[in-house]
Each structure stands twice: as C-alpha cells, then as structure tokens.
Amino acid sequence: MRLKIVTFLKLAGEVIDFMAENFFAAVELGGTKCIAGIGDGITIVDEVTIPTRSPEETVGTLINFINQSKRTFGGIRGLGIASFGPIDLNLHSADFGCIQNSPKKHWEGFNLQQAFSVMDCPTAIDTDVNAACLAEAYIGAGRDSKNVVYTTIGTGIGVGIVADGVVFSGKTHPEIGHISVHQEVYCDPFEGLCPYHRNCLEGLASGPAILARWGQSLSDLPVEHPAHVLEAGYLAQLVKMLTLSFSPDKIILGGGVMMTPGLIELVRLKTLEALNGYISDLLTLDEMLSLIKAPELGNKSGLLGAMIKINNIVHGEDFNVSATRPVDA
C-alpha cells in the first residue's frame, strides 16, 4: 500500500502530510450493504459495514459512526459520498443529490446532500462506479494510464470514465449499463429483467438477471454451462463499444459477477473475436490482457474513490466540480 501512496503523490504533483488533521470521511452506499470509513484520502484507518435498509435508518447509522470516529481522530476535513444511482449531480438542480429512478423504490427521491448536511463540512457526491473508477485510475489497476474506464457487473451494471485524471460527467452521469446489446434469442430466449428496458445489457448480464435466467449465480454454475459463454459475449459487446467510443488505455472489469473464475479470460477472448482485427493494437490476447484488467482495490475502490475525490477538492486539485457543492450551498 505504501508504494501506491507514493504513486498517488506523484500524480497529485505535491507531497501532502497525511496527519490526523487531514482525515476525511467517506460513505459508499450499495444495493445490499453500505460502508463508512475514515482515512487520509488513501489509507482507511477505521470503517464499518452495515446492511442497506431504509434511507433514514441506513444514513443515521452511518452518521453515528462518522461522529464517533470524529471524536476518536479529532475531526474530519470533508465527506465523500459514493452511491448507487442514478443520482441528480447537476449543481444547479433543486434536486441535487437526489436518488432518481432507482429499482430500490424506497430510496427513490431521497436527498443525500440534505441527509448528510448535518456533518457540517465540505461534501462531494458521485456515483459508486465513478468513485471506484477514480480510485483505480489513481492508485489501482489504471494508475499508469491516462484514460481509464471502470465497469462494475453486479446487482446492476455501471460504468465510470476517468479522462486525464478527471471523472467524466455530462448532463448527468453515464448509464451505459442500459445500452442495447445483440441477443441471439435462439440460444438465449430470456426476456430480460430490467424494469425499464427489459433486455438491455443490465437486464441480461447483471447478477440478478443471471440468477433469474438460470436459477443460480454464475460462479455456482459448472464451468461447462452455456451461461459463461453467454455472459462473456454480452460483456464483450460492452468492451467493444467502450473501446470504439472512448479508446481507453485500460478497461477495468469489477463487481461480484466478475469474481467468477475464468470469466475475465473469456471476456478477453470474446472481445478479440468481436473486434475482428479492426483495432491495429488489439490483435492478440496479450494486447487484450493489457487492455482488460481486473481491479486491484477489491471492494474498497468505491470508498477510496470517495476519499480521493473530497481530498482533491479540499486541496484544490479537483477541477470536476459538477458533483461538488459547498456545505453552505
């Protein structure tokens, strides 16, 4: 971990003394569990994991943990929030910080900015996948690369993009998990699980879709089961689209589904087939190995990304202010 810290400091362009007075709080809100942590922007020194329940109960428990940690470590300089989406990240919107059309209906309309404003400190909000991408780009599998894409394949499918060290955002954050993909209905007649688009990528290739289609998670199915090839094929379509659209240096595939043994290797093979020699520097499996990477930060990437984001903001190094609002805004 020390080597990674040094790498980050070089990227940041200055040496920062991470003492107790530089501690930050971070929260990652997930579909099944939520994590809160305290750290210096790189290293987590204290954390707690709780089940995702109602918004009020979940946020209340996380705030109590942060307040207790503040007393232990002598305060925090800011709070980074990484959450499942979609979220309104438009600073000028009256709904800034609100969770929008979520499958988690009891969270829909809940305003994260308002709920955490009791912390009375600078706060940054972003999606969990954007935060994970930021962490992997700075100190993880993409740390030596200029442009990085991070994809999580789990309860849902999300994509974050870091270009030149900055998280990409437009009118809203990307929702690439809902792109249409080619489905061979004769070998996969599954109608899809997405409540909005049925057989979009998330509707066919997310963890819940696999479970609904086959009755088991991908990692529990035998290696010879056709689900593995189907899943790799759908994810290869995603990687092909990301490659042709953004030409990234690294595409990092994370999330629970990607923990299935052998899946990332199969995705590399299927992507090579899908590109069919069109990209001159992606003609071999070795070149695919360089492009398509597993994450290095495990299940800490979202939390670390939230810390890095608020750390950068406080130190004046983050120019992507679309998801940042001062505490008195």
Q: Which residues contact 287 (CB under 8 A, 6 or more apart)?
A: 281
164 lies in the same domain as 255: yes
CATH at residue 78: 3.30.420.40
3 state SS of 10: helix
Q: Between 104 and 69, name the one with better pLDDT.
A: 69
90 lies in the same domain as 207: no
158 lies in the same domain as 108: no
Q: Is residue 279 part of a domain?
A: yes
Specify the range with the lowest mean pLDDT, choosing from 58-62, 153-157, 205-209, 226-230: 153-157
**Is the confidence at residue 10, as pLDDT, over 70?**
no
pLDDT given for residue 21 in this prediction = 60
Q: Is residue 135 part of a domain?
A: no
DSSP 210: H
pLDDT given for residue 42 in this prediction = 76
Q: What residues make up the domain containing 154?
A: 141-293
122 lies in the same domain as 239: no
Q: Is residue 302 part of a domain?
A: no
105 lies in the same domain as 8: yes
245 lies in the same domain as 122: no
Provide the pLDDT confidence category of residue 317 given band limits of 50, 70 and 90: low
Q: Is residue 136 part of a domain?
A: no
pLDDT given for residue 43 in this prediction = 86
Provide the pLDDT confidence category of residue 326 given band limits of 50, 70 and 90: very low
Q: What is the mean pLDDT of residues 30-34?
A: 88
Q: Is residue 300 part of a domain?
A: no
Cβ–Cβ contacts within 10 Å for residue 280, how many? 7
Q: Between 214 and 326, name the one with better pLDDT.
A: 214
153 lies in the same domain as 121: no
94 lies in the same domain as 174: no
42 vs 3, 90, 250, CA distance in Å?
11, 27, 21
148 lies in the same domain as 236: yes
Q: Is residue 301 part of a domain?
A: no
Predicted confidence (pLDDT) per residue in 251-274, tens digit: 999 999 999 999 999 999 999 999
Q: Is residue 134 part of a domain?
A: no
pLDDT given for residue 87 in this prediction = 92
Q: How many domains does the chain have?
A: 2
29 lies in the same domain as 80: yes
The percent of residues above 70 in pLDDT, for the chain, comes to 90
pTM for the whole thing? Answer: 0.87
Q: What is the mean pLDDT of residues 269-293?
A: 96
Predicted confidence (pLDDT) per residue in 197-218, tens digit: 999 999 999 999 999 999 999 9
Average pLDDT for the chain: 88
The Cα 218–Cα 260 span in angstroms is 7
145 lies in the same domain as 289: yes
Q: What is the mean pLDDT of residues 231-251?
A: 97
pLDDT given for residue 19 in this prediction = 47
Alpha helices in the chain (DSSP H): 2-12, 55-73, 112-115, 128-139, 201-205, 207-214, 226-246, 263-275, 285-291, 301-314
278 lies in the same domain as 213: yes
Provide the pLDDT confidence category of residue 11 given band limits of 50, 70 and 90: very low
Q: Is residue 90 part of a domain?
A: yes
**Nearest to residue 246, comparing CAs of 309, 319, 168?**
168
pLDDT given for residue 318 in this prediction = 52
**Is the confidence at residue 14, as pLDDT, over 60?**
no
Q: What angle do CA 252, 174, 92 make, to 5 degrees?
A: 135
Task: Evaluate the omega torsion of the peptide bond into residue 86 and state whether it is cis, within 30 degrees of 0.
Answer: yes
Q: What is the mean pLDDT of residues 121-146?
A: 95
**Is the confidence at residue 329, as pLDDT, over 50?**
no
Q: Tell me whether strands 44-51 and 157-163 are parallel, antiparallel or unpaired.
A: unpaired
